[in-house]
Amino acid sequence: MFQPASLKGDSPTPIDEEFRNKYLILYFINIILSIIPCVLFELGYLGIFWKKGIYLLYFFLLPLNIILLIYLLQFSAIIISILFLTVLKLIYPPKEGTFKRNSKDKDYIYWNIRNIIKKWPLFITASNPFPWFKNRFTLRFFGVKIGKNGMHDNSWISSEFVSIGKNVIIGMNSTLLSFGIEQDTFILRKIIVEDNVIIGAKCVLLPGTHIKYNTKLSAHSYTNFNAILHENSIYMGHPAKLKEK
Amino acid sequence: MQNSENSQFKIEYISTSGVYKTPFTLIILLQFFIGCLVVISINLWFYNDLFFLLTGKRFLSFLLIGQWWEWLLLPLNIYGNLLLFAFSVILFSAFLFKVLNKIYPPREGVFEKGSKEWKYTHRRFWMAYFPIWLARSLPLPWSDIFVYRFLGVHIGKNVVAYEGYIDPEFVEIEDYTMTSLNICIFSHLIYHDKILIKRVKIGKTCIVGPQTIISPGTILQDGAILGVNSYTWVNQILDGDFIHVGTPVNKKLQIQSVEESIKKAERIKEESQKKINNTDKKIIGANR
């Protein structure tokens, strides 16, 4: 909601510098291709209103034009990045597990490339004024399952290997990380959050966490790797432990 | 304020403040539209003149003819338009916020889902969202304090409050307090079908450390310090001129001067060294 400028941004994906320099072309191609539909749209708008001499209507509809432009840019960026992602999936399908953090490990390389491709659409979502764009619109296109009637606009959610159920509340500034880096190893595990779960403010879920039905996680706590939080109970602490009544 | 509902409502965990997405969210589009219209209607004559200088035609014939020196005003115009847009949106939404407050004044307590309080808190939050977002994306970092004052939050003079999340109602911050990076000041807590609203008071010359959460109902007395990485429970009172630490807050430490703390650190160092020497002698003796 009312977050300051220094805390805005897309989900924290530390892309390796080696691969970032290598595959930077993909990032620029994504930007250029997604701007082309916007240019065509603007040309059409100018052609309809300015050249026919309806100047006042041109200025009156200009704010609507800007709003449509933001939506169009977002949509085209998502579609182009999905095209790249489907090609990548055919070459090497993404899978969970523990890998090595080398330039020889194929899973680590392809995880980095996927993040480079997702960078541009996630950057636009984070920097426009409409808060429902990121978790309700963009992440669903990338294959993250997010249920209805939730409240999760102010959290950082990883863009793959996450599934979130219905009626879930995820608090302010809390992060759901489906990847972990520990020295030489690189971990990718799925995070599952079932229905009716409440996650408080400033929580951190590490990869492999499974939160079951109707469980509450109190604010300012984090879960361990592969932690299972059982149903209908309250958890809190560093790391999260069952609260006894 | 202690309602009969409030005492029955048990708080077993701290959740979060925030709102669901409702159809009222589209108010953001209306605020955007109004702000743009104000900017465009004020700038029409200027762009008419520039268009005349470029092509020799005018799209508004009843205005003055452009002069060459109007090109010099272009950079000032761009920067001024940013401020004008933000200012008009802030004034418009502050007016609507006051109207909403008149229609249904906000109250403290515990309320169910679907009640009028639930609906109107959602409306007020979405109304306040866009002006605060705008103020925080402007190049003037203290401008969001003015927005909070417009919306009716009491913020004193010389307050640092632009690096964290602050709810737009039921918050009082007195003079000379500092809040650090990435803090949350909640006056609302949302559970699944209930919402808890209570006033937060922060006194004079307080310091709120980074990465902290202040829950509804907490009172920081004058000169209190909330330590790093800690959060307060609901209805907690922090005494003045003390340091408070814990998750949730359970420790009270005295404020020391720098010289005192250096002396204490040296004393602890000497004691620990003596202990180490003693254990070393014992180990050496055991080996012999």
Domain boundaries, chain B: 4-254
The alpha-carbon gap from B207 to the nearest alpha carbon of chain A, in Å, equals 19
Token output for A25: 């072309």
pLDDT of residue B104 exceeding 90, the answer is: yes
Looking at the structure, do residues A7 and A103 belong to the same domain, yes or no? yes
DSSP state, residue A6 = G
Looking at the structure, do residues A6 and A126 belong to the same domain, yes or no? yes
pLDDT tens per residue, range A74-93: 999 999 999 999 999 999 99
Looking at the structure, do residues A8 and A116 belong to the same domain, yes or no? yes
For the stretch A95-102, contacts whose Cβ atoms lie closer than 8 Å and that sit 24 or more positions apart, written own/partner, are A95/A188, A96/A161, A96/A188, A96/A189, A96/A190, A97/A187, A97/A188, A98/A185, A98/A186, A98/A187, A98/A188, A99/A185, A99/A186, A99/A187, A99/A188, A100/A184, A100/A185, A100/A186, A101/A181, A101/A183, A101/A184, A101/A185, A101/A186
For an interface test with A, give the residue of B10, B12, B14 to mutate (most A CBs within 10 A). Answer: B14
Q: Do A136 and B36 touch (CB under 8 A)?
A: no
User: How many C-beta neighbours within 10 Å does residue A106 have?
Assistant: 11
For an interface test with B, give the residue of A1, A127, A238 to mutate (most B CBs within 10 A). Answer: A1
Which percentage of chain A shows pLDDT scores above 70? 95
Q: In this predicted structure, what is the pLDDT of residue A8? A: 67
Contact yes or no for A144/A118 (Cβ under 8 A): no
SS3 assignment, position A119: helix
* Range(s) of the domain holding residue A134: 1-143
Q: In this predicted structure, what is the pLDDT of residue B91? A: 94
Looking at the structure, do residues A126 and A222 belong to the same domain, yes or no? no
pLDDT of residue B4 exceeding 50, the answer is: no
Predicted ipTM > 0.90: no
pLDDT of residue B100 exceeding 70, the answer is: yes
Q: In this predicted structure, what is the pLDDT of residue B149? A: 92
Q: How would you list the strands of the sheet with B188-190, edge to edge? A: B109-112, B194-197, B188-190
What is the pLDDT confidence band of residue B1, given thresholds at 50, 70 and 90?
very low
Q: Which residues of B100-127 are buried (b: 16+ CB within 10 A; e: fewer)?
A: beeeeeeebbbbeeeeebbebbbbbbbb
For an interface test with A, give the residue of B16, B92, B233 to mutate (most A CBs within 10 A). Answer: B16
Looking at the structure, do residues A173 and A206 belong to the same domain, yes or no? yes
Looking at the structure, do residues A155 and A124 belong to the same domain, yes or no? no
Looking at the structure, do residues A55 and A155 belong to the same domain, yes or no? no
pLDDT of residue B285 exceeding 70, the answer is: no
SS3 assignment, position B172: strand
Q: Which of B151, B142, B164, B178 is nearest to A172 (CA)?
A: B164
Q: In this predicted structure, what is the pLDDT of residue B2? A: 44
Query: What's the rounded mean pLDDT across residues B104-118?
Result: 91
Q: Do A171 and B164 touch (CB under 8 A)?
A: no
The beta-carbon neighbor of A4 closest among B163, B190, B229 is B163
Looking at the structure, do residues A223 and A130 belong to the same domain, yes or no? no
The alpha-carbon gap from B270 to the nearest alpha carbon of chain A, in Å, equals 32
Q: In this predicted structure, what is the pLDDT of residue A199? A: 93
What is the pLDDT confidence band of residue B61, given thresholds at 50, 70 and 90?
confident
A69 touching chain B per CB within 8 A:
no
SS3 assignment, position A13: coil
Q: Do B136 and A2 touch (CB under 8 A)?
A: yes
Contact yes or no for B88/B31 (Cβ under 8 A): no
Place of tokens 């906000």: B106
SS3 assignment, position B91: helix
Query: What's the rounded mean pLDDT across residues B94-109?
Result: 93
Element at B245 (helix H, strand E): strand B242-246
pLDDT tens per residue, range B138-184: 888 788 899 999 998 999 999 988 888 899 989 999 999 999 888 99
Q: A84, A117, A143 — which closes off a domain? A: A143
Looking at the structure, do residues A136 and A26 belong to the same domain, yes or no? yes
Looking at the structure, do residues A29 and A138 belong to the same domain, yes or no? yes
Q: Do A55 and B125 touch (CB under 8 A)?
A: no
* Sign of the alpha-carbon torsion through B116, B122, B127, B132: positive
Looking at the structure, do residues A5 and A118 belong to the same domain, yes or no? yes
β-strands A179-182, A185-188: how paired? Answer: antiparallel
pLDDT of residue B5 exceeding 60, the answer is: no
Q: In this predicted structure, what is the pLDDT of residue B52? A: 86
Q: A121, A143, A165 — which closes off a domain? A: A143
Chain A residues close to B18, C-beta within 8 Å: 1, 151, 153-154, 169, 171-172
Chain B residues close to A240, C-beta within 8 Å: none
Nearest CA in chain B to A7: B182
SS3 assignment, position B274: helix
Gap between the Cα atoms of A60 and A62, Å rounded: 6
Indicate the number of domains in chain A: 2
A167 touching chain B per CB within 8 A:
yes
Burial (CB < 10 A; 0-12, 13-18, 19+), residue B226, is buried
Looking at the structure, do residues A35 and A137 belong to the same domain, yes or no? yes
Q: Name the average pLDDT for chain A.
A: 89
Q: Which of A193, A195, A199 is nearest to A172 (CA)?
A: A199
Query: What's the rounded mean pLDDT across residues A140-155?
Result: 88
Q: A143, A168, A190 — which closes off a domain? A: A143
